[in-house]
Amino acid sequence: MYSKILVPLDSSKTAEKVLPVARCLARGLQIPVELLGVIDIVDMASHLATDKLSIIHDMVDDASRRFTEYLEGISQNFPAGTVRCTVQTGSAAQAIIDSAATDKRTLIALATHGRSGLDRWLLGSVAEKVLRGASNPTLVVRARDDKNPIWAMAALKRIIVPLDGSELSEGILPYIKELAKQLDMEVTLIRLYGGLSAAGDGFYSPHQLDALTARLRDETVTYLESKTEEMKRQGLNRISFAAKEGSEADEILTIARQTPDTMIAMCTHGRSGVQRWALGSITERVVRHSDNPVLVVRAGLDQRSAGK
């Protein structure tokens, strides 16, 4: 399924919040990890006076040495297996995208809002650029001010999979099927329905609204039952579904928070007639506000690589 996990770090404690999840995946999937540090020379030079630019090469060499030592120290806290440490120069987001693009089966795992003193990554914007530009599956962990040590091992027991009825949104299913099997995770498929308005502006009367909502609920349940049975036939036995009234990212987040150790997995750019999902709307809002790790897969990726 995945050949390795690419973990970008900028030497900040906030960016390191992804490490417990990365360790869990590395152990459960039995795949190697690449820890990636990026030195942004342009940003570094912008903080130097003109008469100091001649020392930029020495600064880069020193930063590279310190970054390598830092990454090697982090690597000691991973379970037995191959951990590679890489330091590159350039734009953080582009370096992550380009490094992962050499292998479609690379999983990018990064935290949002990480910063460093020297390289000054703002991983909120870096993560967004990676999500929009990477062709690889990307796991995003929103950093929180909690007490969990960075060397801990996260527990992942459940995957919440929002679907909107389109083939594009269903592109996530091959990815979560293999992930759930290998990590022995329970899967819950969810689809939201309703979110319609009554009266005024050419919408519906209360009676019409009730009838339409009931029809949407029945159609949603039928759809989810079909997808659940389809996944069971493919060998995924620990799977259930939930049909919820609503149309906002908050519904997805609320469902995910109800069970500890949950991951959310979704495709970008899936859309339906009633709900229109796109990176920048529901997907982006889930990524920005979720307390749970979020796996994002760009719709249209070669699905054959998902099951290998």
Question: Is residue 304's pLDDT more than 60?
Answer: no
Specify the higher pLDDT residue, 199 or 125: 125
| 276 inside domain | yes
Residue 4's nearest CA partner among 124, 129, 136, 105 is 105
Q: What is the pLDDT of residue 277?
A: 41
Burial of 117 (0-12, 13-18, 19+ CB in 10 A): exposed
Question: Is residue 270's pLDDT more than 90?
Answer: no
Q: Are residues 184 and 54 in the same domain?
A: no
Write the DSSP string, 38-51: EE-HHHHHHTS-GG
CA 221 to chain centre: 27
Specify the higher pLDDT residue, 86 or 302: 86
What would the pLDDT profile of 28-50 be if each residue is shown by its tens digit?
999 999 999 998 876 765 666 66
| 218 inside domain | yes
The model's pTM is 0.84
Q: What is the pLDDT of residue 186?
A: 96
What would the pLDDT profile of 65-93 be if each residue is shown by its tens digit?
999 999 999 999 887 678 999 999 988 99
Specify the higher pLDDT residue, 271 or 176: 176
Q: How many CB atoms lie within 10 A of CB 27?
A: 15
Q: What is the pLDDT of residue 47?
A: 63
180: helix, coil or strand? helix
Specify the higher pLDDT residue, 301 or 218: 218
What would the pLDDT profile of 124-172 be if each residue is shown by its tens digit?
578 878 888 899 999 999 877 666 666 778 889 999 999 988 888 899 9
Q: What is the pLDDT of residue 88?
A: 93
Question: Is residue 53's pLDDT more than 90?
Answer: no
Structural contact between residues 161 and 188, judged by C-beta atoms closer than 8 angstroms: yes
Write the DSSP string, 262-274: EEEEEEES-B-SS
What would the pLDDT profile of 242-252 be if each residue is shown by its tens digit?
998 876 788 88
Report the distance separating Cα 165 and Cα 80, nearest Å: 41
Q: Are residues 183 and 100 in the same domain?
A: no
Q: What is the pLDDT of residue 161?
A: 95
Percent above pLDDT 90 for the chain: 44
| 153 inside domain | no
Q: Are residues 241 and 192 in the same domain?
A: yes
Q: Are residues 37 and 163 in the same domain?
A: no
Structural contact between residues 265 and 237, judged by C-beta atoms closer than 8 angstroms: no
| 150 inside domain | no
Block residue for tokens 């020392």: 55
Q: Give mean pLDDT, residues 106-113.
A: 90
Q: CA-CA distances (angstroms) from residue 225 to 77, 145, 243, 253, 302?
A: 42, 39, 10, 22, 26
Q: Are residues 182 and 303 in the same domain?
A: yes
Which domain-ending residue is among 112, 142, 172? 142
Percent above pLDDT 70 for the chain: 78
Q: Are residues 20 and 127 in the same domain?
A: yes
| 181 inside domain | yes
Q: Are residues 104 and 188 in the same domain?
A: no
Question: For the chain, what is the domain count?
Answer: 2
DSSP E strands, 22-128: 33-39, 83-89, 106-112
Burial call 77-102: b when 16+ CB within 10 Å, e when fewer: ebeeeebebbbbeebbbebbbebbee
Domain that includes residue 51, residue range: 4-142
| 149 inside domain | no
Q: Are residues 268 and 203 in the same domain?
A: yes
What would the pLDDT profile of 55-64 be if each residue is shown by its tens digit?
777 888 888 9
Residue 128's nearest CA partner among 1, 248, 294, 6 is 294
The enclosing domain of 115 has a CATH number of: 3.40.50.620
Question: Is residue 122's pLDDT more than 70?
Answer: no
Q: Are residues 127 and 178 in the same domain?
A: no
Q: Are residues 134 and 168 in the same domain?
A: no
Q: What is the pLDDT of residue 195?
A: 59
**Mean pLDDT over the full length of the chain:** 82
Residues composing the chain: 308
Angle between the 173-183 and 19-29 helix axes, to the nearest 10 degrees?
A: 80
Report residue 280's pLDDT band, with 50, 70 and 90 as the boundaries: very low
- List the end-to-end C-alpha distance of the chain, in Å, as a whole number: 4
Q: Give mean pLDDT, residues 91-99.
A: 93
CA dihedral 307, 129, 37, 154 (to 10 degrees): -50
Specify the higher pLDDT residue, 305 or 215: 215
Q: Are residues 166 and 136 in the same domain?
A: no
